[in-house]
Amino acid sequence: MILDTFALHGRVALVTGSTRGLGQGAAVALAEAGADVALLDRGDASATAERVRATGRRAHLLRRDLVSAGPEELAGAVDETVAELGGLDILVNNAGTIRRTPAAEHSAADWDDVLSVNLDAVFHLSQAAGRHMIANGYGRIINVASMLSFQGGILVPGYTASKHAVVGLTKAFANEWAAAGVTVNAIAPGYMATDNTAPLRADEDRAASILARIPAGRWGDASDLQGAFVFLASSAASYVTGAVIPVDGGWLVR
């Protein structure tokens, strides 16, 4: 039955940035589809773990700060997931940060912090997870891109650069690993009601201009992405790789 191909029973996922928002939504959705979930965050993801366990699945907390975590520490997080949950089949690189300053004033520290979380961690976690997945002949890596993977944005040069690069990494890994049974795709959320967009939503003029351009007529939320996460994590998407799927209420086609 076709619905069976969307099930994730017996799978293990690792989700970054999982305390709230899109990462929490992804973790809960994967658990509801049958996966056990490791939750990597610099904050306390206990609330997400409780929601995962409420589905009958296992959860494991990984406390890591992606601003400072290097390749060995991130490889260690993958190894810990395998040891605690019995494997690793799905990696969701969701964690992200943003700094809003004019390009002429964008500090080196802001640039480094944004690239560390949004790009370096994606590369190192994907590389470590990919080695394990290749050895097992199966894997799903899902990166969280952005509308600013396609556009330039305003006041966010570091974020824009990182999200363009995430799409490039998605395609590069997809090319190399497809034959090994590992797919690598990205989801590009539109304007979501999350902490990252709180300053935009607090600016009445900017919020109104954004909303006016969204054909769906509303900001998105974490639940709008859950179906895409489950699809790309499942066997139903076994012939989908290197794709960037916008979930944006029609923003890009306006």
- Which CATH number is 102's domain given? 3.40.50.720
- The answer as to whether 205 is a domain residue is no
Domain assignment of residue 198, yes or no: no
Tally of structural domains, the chain: 1
Q: Where are the alpha helices (DSSP H) in the chain?
A: 21-32, 46-54, 71-85, 108-115, 121-136, 157-177, 198-202, 204-213, 223-233
pLDDT digits (tens, 9 = 90+) for 96-137: 999 999 999 999 999 999 999 999 999 999 999 999 999 999
Q: Is the pLDDT of residue 199 over 90?
A: no
Average pLDDT of span 39-54: 98
pTM of the model: 0.96
Cα–Cα distances (Å) from 163 to 72, 156, 188, in that order, read 23, 11, 9
- Distance set, CA 72 to CA 69, 77, 127, 149, 189 (Å): 8, 9, 11, 28, 30
The pair of three-digit structure tokens given for residue 212, joined into one six-digit string? 């006016």
Asked whether residue 150 is assigned to any structural domain, the reply reads yes
What range defines the domain where residue 185 resides? 2-193+223-246
pLDDT, tens only, 135-187:
999 999 999 999 999 999 999 999 999 999 999 999 999 999 999 999 999 99
216 found inside a domain: no
Spatial separation of the C-alpha atoms in residues 162 and 45, rounded to whole Å: 25
Q: What pLDDT was estimated at residue 203?
A: 86
Residue 252 lies in a domain: no
138: annotated active-site residue: no
| Terminal CA-CA length for the chain | 37
In a domain, 213, yes or no: no
From the list 138, 159, 191, 239, the catalytic residue is 159
Give per-residue pLDDT as tens, 11-34.
Answer: 999 999 999 999 999 999 999 999
Phi and psi torsions of 93, nearest 5°? -90, 85
pLDDT band at 196 (very low <50, low <70, confident <90, very high): confident
